[in-house]
Every structure is written in structure tokens, then in C-alpha cells.
Structure 1
Amino acid sequence: MSVVHRIGMALGLPVMLFTVWWVASAGSTNFFFPPLSEILDSLVQEWFGARLVDDVWPSLYRLAAGYALAAAVSLGLGVLIGTSRTVRGLTEPVFEFFRAIPPPVLVPIFILLFGIGDGMKIVVIAFGCMWPILLNTVEGVRAVDEVLSDTGRVYGVHGWSRLRYLVLPSASPQIFAGLRQGLSVAIILMVISELFAATNGLGFAVVQAQRSFAIPETWAGMLMLGLLGFLLAMLFRLVENRRLAWYHGLRRAQRSS
């Protein structure tokens, strides 16, 4: 499949939906559903203007910091738990307990512990998005092929070399699946964390626009969130395709054989 074909498939449905929205909303006099042209004007003027620095960049910083913290902690714990049956038996009940708690419920507690600054928001994002990364890492490490593991043991591949050249490559497809799920959760929690005692950010700006009945600005903020999620997903896919090129090539070879 050519690059042009793939881009066309990725953009075809969004372009069609925006075309329908533009035509259906043209000339609308409904206060809560303004024409798409007004929303796009607000998007360009507000979100690609002063708000880009005042609200978008702070949100991206919190998102990146929380996601990076969750990935680092989850990958380290996941490898440890996945390779040790004893550690897995000790920690699994605790992790299942905390995983069942919705992160937004813990926001008041995190405010008491970390205040109302960026630290609280980063912790909320990290706490919520670490679970899919952690659980997928554990399962990926546990699912390492026994034949490969025994072969590595016979050839004296131990310690860091075994982790780097055997365990992590074998578990990487499932690890990336967890990272992809964690990114989606992180974007949601970024917005939720900015609804509480915030002075900037995408979530704060959208709620402020809604409370002041600035309807085009509210719709524009939601479009900005969707655009941000789309761009981050595309960036993640590029990284994933590059890091897992060997895996996708192997799957294509298996399907063609």
C-alpha cells in the first residue's frame, strides 16, 4: 500500500465528516450550534494565537511529564514483576486494588498532598495511565517464548544482556500496546486534572468558555483537543512502526506464507 493511499484512507472519513458538518451548519441561527465557519475562525484566532502559549503548551508539558513518569515507573515495575513469580504474588493484590480506583476520585487527595500546581496534575496523569502500561508490560515479559529463553540460558545470556536482547524485544509489541492505551488515558486525565483549581490549560480554557457562554470558543476548544489527540496518535504510530518494524515485517511474512 502506497503512502498516498494510506494518507487518503486516514484523512478520508474526517474530511467527509467535516464537509457534512460545514454544509449542515451553514447559516445556523441556533445559539448552541453555530456554523462551522465561526468555530474554525475562533480556532484560528484563539487557539493558534495567545492561547497556544498560555494554555496549549502548559497542557502539553503536564501531559508529557505525567506520561513519561508513568512509562518509566511502569516499565521498571513491569519487568521486575513479570520476571519474578514471588514479586508478582506479593504485588498483584495491591495493584488490582489501586487499578480499580478511578483517578478523578483521587484528585482531592492529590490536591492535599501536592497542592494545586503542576505537580498535582502530573501525578494524576501518571497514576491513571500507568496501569495499562504496567499490566501489558507484565504480560509481555511473562509471555517470552520458552524456547528462546532456554536457548539464551544455554548460551550463557544472563542479566542485562538477557533483558536487553531477549526479554524486552520479545515483550515490546505488548509494551507498545500498553503505551498506546496509556496515551489515550493520559489525554483524558490531562483535561480532567485541569478542571480543578487550575489557571491555565486546555481543560480550564474550555470550561471557562462554556461558563461564559462563549459557544464558538467552546466548540473550538473541543476541536483543539481532538486535533491534539490525533497528532499525538500519529506521532506515536510513527515511533511504534519504526521500533517494531521487525515485528510487522514478521507478521506480513507469516500472512503471505
Structure 2
Amino acid sequence: MRGVLLRVGYVLALPAVLVALWWLASDGSTNVYWPPLRTILRTFPDVWTGQRLHDDLLRSVLRLLAGYATAAVAGVALGTVIGSYRRVRAVCEPVLEFLRAVPPPVLVPVIMLFAGIGDTMKIVVIASGGVWPILLNTVEGVRAVDPVMAETARSYGITGAARLRTLVLRSASPQIFAGLRQALSIGIILMVISEMFAASNGLGFAIVQFQRGFAIPDMWTGILLLGLLGFALSVVFQVVERRVLGWYHGLRATTRRS
């Protein structure tokens, strides 16, 4: 119990300090663009009612999860194939490096031409940006599979799906999760950008509408909610990562002790 409380304290310590500094720095501010934090917090429950949370926050989260899941499936699948076969990697690598260098926000107008301005466009934008860190980390993770373990698996007749599940993906899983973590941050950014381009709901849409209506405290509440969403998703990701990669973290801890 004490260890859990210490971890929670470590997680909340820096955010608490930053909030306190924000409160002190903005206290007494008369700048219309930089309202006091107490004003923002007082405005928050009036702006983010149950209906608005359903129409904007929930819609944004669903789009993010759909795009993120699409990027994860495509990135792991393609990365496993490319990392497993040298010739496929040699053919695909120049094209992948070119596509990876194209900033996903630049593709939003192009994607709008083919996918329209509905939820499909926003999901595609999120997936198109999040797929690259997952794919490239998966490729490197698959390439780094221990050749001794690979030869042992071959000797024992472990092939096909069993080899993929128990050896390749398991060995590459630490790097896959590194890519998934990067993709989550990229996905949140692209979620907001896609909703600012063409949308009738979502966090990005709401923040832009507040800004255009000169409702500055309301706009800050949207930014604050976006930060809280990113923090919550990061905590959930860490819990899942710890559970899935428990064997890996245990191995690292044993290695450090020895």
C-alpha cells in the first residue's frame, strides 16, 4: 500500500507544482487572453456539462480510439512482415522513409477529398500519423529477435503462427509498445487538428469555436480538458504496458540487481 501511495505521489507531484505556479502567475491578471486560473476553473463546470461532454469529448475519444486501433493493427502487421523478410525490407524501406517524412497535417486536405468531412476522415488522419512509429519500431523489434532463440525454435519445430506469437511478437513487444506510446501522443494531436479543419463537434471544434466567439476562459477550459484527457490516457497506457510487459520489466529489474 505504501509503495502505491509513493507512486501516486510521484505522478501527481509535478502536476501539482505546475498548477500552483500557474495559479500564482495568473492571479490578479487583467489580460483578457490570460485569465486567472481561478476564473478558468470556475468556468469549467458551466461549459463542460453532461451534454457537451457527450457531444464533444466522447466523440473525440471514440475517433481517437478508432484511429489508434487502426494504426496499431496496420503498423504491427506490416512491421512484422517487413522486419521478417530482408528483401521486402529492402524494397519498402525507401518508400516508407519518404512517406514517414510527410507531416500528417499536410495530408488533411488530400484525405478530405477522398474521405469527405465526416468521422472517416478524422479516423484516417489519426491512423495515417500514428502508424509510422508503430510500424518502424515493430520492424526494428522483429529484426532484433535473438538468432539463438530463433534457431532453438526452429530446432523444436515451432513454426508458423506459434513461432510468430511466442517468439517474434513477444521478443519485439518492448519496442512495439515504445511505438504505441509515441503513436498515442501523435494521435491526440492529429485528433485536435482534424476537428479544427472540418467538424461540427469534438474538442478541437469546441476550442476553435470558443476562440472565434472570443470566449477566452471557455477556450482555456477546453485546453485544460485536453491536457487532462492526455494525462488520463497516458496513465491507462502505462497500466496496460506494465501488465503486458510484466515479464520484461521483471527481467530488467533482475538484471539490475545482479
TM interval, short-chain normalised: over 0.9
Amino acid at match of 2:70: L
- Aligned residue number for residue 249 of structure 2: 248
d(CA) in 2 for partners of 1:93 and 1:149? 27
Amino acid at match of 1:163: L
- Aligned residue number for residue 23 of structure 1: 24
d(CA) in 2 for partners of 1:21 and 1:172? 39
Partner SS, residue 196 of structure 2: coil
Matched, 1:195 2:196: yes
d(CA) in 2 for partners of 1:206 and 1:109? 24
Matched, 1:155 2:156: yes
Partner SS, residue 176 of structure 1: helix
What 5-or-longer segments of structure 2 have no aligned partner? none
- Aligned residue number for residue 217 of structure 1: 218
- Aligned residue number for residue 139 of structure 1: 140
Amino acid at match of 1:166: L
Give 1:48 deviation, angstroms: 4.3
- Aligned residue number for residue 104 of structure 1: 105
* Structure 1 vs Structure 2 CA RMSD: 1.1
Matched, 1:92 2:129: no
d(CA) in 2 for partners of 1:250 and 1:162? 21
4+ long deviations beyond 4 Å: none
- Aligned residue number for residue 37 of structure 1: 38
- Aligned residue number for residue 77 of structure 2: 76
Partner SS, residue 86 of structure 1: helix
State which drifts further: 243-252 or 16-25. Answer: 16-25
Within 5 Å, give how 1:47-58 maps onto structure 2.
47-58=48-59
TM-score, with normalisation over the residues of structure 2? 0.97
Amino acid at match of 1:121: K
d(CA) in 2 for partners of 1:168 and 1:108? 36
- Aligned residue number for residue 233 of structure 1: 234
d(CA) in 2 for partners of 1:174 and 1:156? 26
d(CA) in 1 for partners of 2:35 and 2:50? 21
Q: Can you list the C-alpha shifts for 1:109-145, whole angstroms capped at 9, x where unaligned? A: 1111010100011000000010000000000000000
d(CA) in 2 for partners of 1:45 and 1:10? 28
- Aligned residue number for residue 206 of structure 2: 205
- Aligned residue number for residue 122 of structure 2: 121
d(CA) in 2 for partners of 1:50 and 1:203? 16
Partner SS, residue 2 of structure 1: helix
State which drifts further: 29-38 or 212-221. Answer: 29-38
d(CA) in 2 for partners of 1:24 and 1:166? 53
Amino acid at match of 2:74: V
- Aligned residue number for residue 46 of structure 1: 47
Q: Can you list the C-alpha shifts for 1:139-173, whole angstroms capped at 9, x where unaligned? A: 00000001111111111111111111111111000
Give 1:92 deviation, angstroms: 1.2
Determine what percentage of the aligned residue pairs are the same residue: 61
Amino acid at match of 2:12: L
- Aligned residue number for residue 186 of structure 1: 187
d(CA) in 2 for partners of 1:42 and 1:98? 43
d(CA) in 1 for partners of 2:90 and 2:24? 58
d(CA) in 1 for partners of 2:11 and 2:140? 31
Amino acid at match of 2:137: N
